[in-house]
Structures are given as structure tokens and as C-alpha cells.
Amino acid sequence: MNNLHVRKDDIVVVLSGKDIGKQGKVLASDPSTKMVLVEGVNMVSRHKKPRRQGEVGGIIKSEGYIRASKVMRVCPKCSKPTRLAHKIGADGAKTRVCKHCGAEI
């Protein structure tokens, strides 16, 4: 199964590594490699060479992918990092629910 516990546009907090405690929005997720791209986390430097006339080169800082297991979803209602529960509604639709306050995410 290739599902992740976080999706694009979720607000997450980093649990371990050099960016521990930082919060950011998930910009992209890759379920096949179980990696996520979080804004402002795991900043890497890339050296860019100008390829055309008038183009500027230099050192570009951008986000790098991190393991999805190192991030946890933040509940928008109680603002706590939480594991997600799933609740099945009357119509059979699955919704994500906060384990702390029970709010739908």
C-alpha cells in the first residue's frame, strides 16, 4: 500500500533531525519513496551556472525531501501534533480525525 499519513497542503511539524520542531506546509509528497517536501525544512544549496546570455548564476537555496516518518500532522483546531484517526461516515466516506480533540481534518 502506497498511502502516506500526510498529504499536500497539510501543516506538519518535524520530529527529528537538524530541523526538529520546525513547522511548515507540505509542498509535495512521493508515496513510492515515502518522502515529503516541507517548506522551510531541509534547505539545500545548489550551484547554478548561467546557461544563456543575461541569465544569472549563483548559489540557490531550496527545500530538500525528508522522510515522511519524521513529520507529524498538526491539528488546525488544537494546534498540537497528532496522529490521525479515520472515521467512516454514514455515507461511507472516510474522514481524517484528530486523536486529541476529535476535530475533522
- Residue 105: its pLDDT value, please? 84
pLDDT value of position 90? 87
| pLDDT digits 0-9 by tens, 49-75 | 999 999 999 999 999 999 999 999 999
Residue 91 and residue 64 share a domain = no
Confidence of residue 2 (pLDDT cuts 50, 70, 90): low
* pLDDT tens for each residue of 11-64: 999 999 999 999 999 999 999 999 999 999 999 999 999 999 999 999 999 999
Domain range for residue 29?
1-50+60-74
CATH number reported for the structural domain that contains residue 22 in this entry: 2.30.30.30
DSSP letter string, 24-54: EEEEEEETTTTEEEETTSSEEEEEE---STT
Mean pLDDT over each residue of the chain, to the nearest integer: 93
Domain annotation covers residue 55: no
DSSP annotation of 3: -
Domain-embedded: residue 23: yes
Pair (69, 46) in one structural domain: yes
30 within some domain: yes
Please give the tally of structural domains in the chain: 2
**pLDDT for res 34:** 95
pLDDT above 90 coverage of the chain, percent: 78
pLDDT value at position 102?
Answer: 86
Burial 55-82 (b: 16+ CB within 10 A, else e): eeeeeeeebebbebebbbbbbeeeeebb
